[in-house]
Amino acid sequence: MTTSEHARLGRDRDASSVLTDPELAESVQVGLERVERLLHTVLQSDFEFVTEASLHLVEAGGKRIRPLFTLLAAHFGDAEHEDVVTAAVVVELIHLATLYHDDVMDEATMRRGAVSANARWDNAIAILTGDFLFAHASKLVAGLGTEAAEIIAVTFGELVTGQMRETVGPKPGQDPVEHYLKVIAEKTGSLIATAGRYGAMFSGADEKSIVALQRYGEVIGTAFQISDDIIDIASPAVESGKTPGTDLREGVKTLPMLYALEEEGPRGDRLRELLAAPITEDDLVTEALRLLRESEGMERARQTVYSYADQARDELAYLPSCPARSALEGLADYVVDRTK
């Protein structure tokens, strides 16, 4: 197998491939099936259109990283506790709700290979559908107790703060890389951290494990987002299944871009010119992608992913040795492999 083929394999394999222990894999698969059933159940409405709009992104698929992590974290306690599946659905509902709202803000036309809700219907429908999902997440979490409700309220505050921080942009004189990393820790890492905390908490795991899994989630979630940003630049559409250069078209400066913009010389000068605003012309997107792929920014971003993956592995040292811990070690490796 060539290096490029190995890299493509790392990108294409699903995150569930880390479940190498047969008993663990079966348990998590059963849990994910229960998650899917509950998602479909709670989003039913006596107004058929609401049901259709709410299930639009559920049925479009997705990695289900947050429920997967919740179920894995539960294996440090009683993984069969019924509240674990409910908690997994809560974090997925909140994630899905943010996608409806994000697509409105970004004026996106596609999501998970399907037409986005705002493009299929309109912005108002997409926003209201996101609100409907938030409402049902709140209803479910109310049944999990006061502590669970407080945790998700704090998490929701972090999600909104991250989005506002990104929208406003860095303050004058602030390091844009530092700003970016803070944004994705809030926008992505916070909810994945809560997924880990919920899984451990509702399975009855000890406090040390709960804290370690929460910290692991925040770090690995941040690494996932950076790896997605790298893939948006590095992978041809035939390999990634996505249209490369989405961030360029939206005018979003991700970590590889920020590092590349620090370069001196003609390439850096041209990138600073191209990335000064959203790029709308296909030939300019192609040029920007070529320059970014050739830049030092890509390797620097990969090294940042590797650093976060190492931090995540460090958190696992606080957990007992078991198949679930091995799977989480594999998840850190998966994040690294998909960027190569």
Residue 249 confidence (pLDDT): 87
Encoded tokens for 137:
């997440």
Encoded tokens for 301:
């971003």
Residue 242 confidence (pLDDT): 52
Contact 206, 81 (CB under 8 A): no
Question: What pTM did the predictor assign?
Answer: 0.90
Q: For 147-178, write each residue's pLDDT tens digit.
A: 999 999 999 999 999 999 998 999 999 999 99
Residue 318 confidence (pLDDT): 94
Instruction: Return the higher-pLDDT residue of 291 and 2.
Output: 291
Q: What is the distance between the alpha carbons of residues 132 and 46, in angstroms, rounded to a whole number?
A: 13
Q: For 286-329, write each residue's pLDDT tens digit.
A: 999 999 999 999 999 999 999 999 999 999 999 999 999 999 99
- Write down the domain spans for the chain: 3-337
Residue 1 confidence (pLDDT): 34
Neighbours of 192 (CB within 10 A): 27
Q: For 83-92, write each residue's pLDDT tens digit.
A: 999 999 999 9
CATH architecture of 3-337: Orthogonal Bundle (1.10)
**Residue of 270, 280, 295, 297 whose CA lies nearest to 245:** 280
Q: Which of 173-177, 232-236, 249-253, 325-329 has the lowest mean pLDDT?
A: 232-236
* Residue where the block lists tokens 């091995």: 326
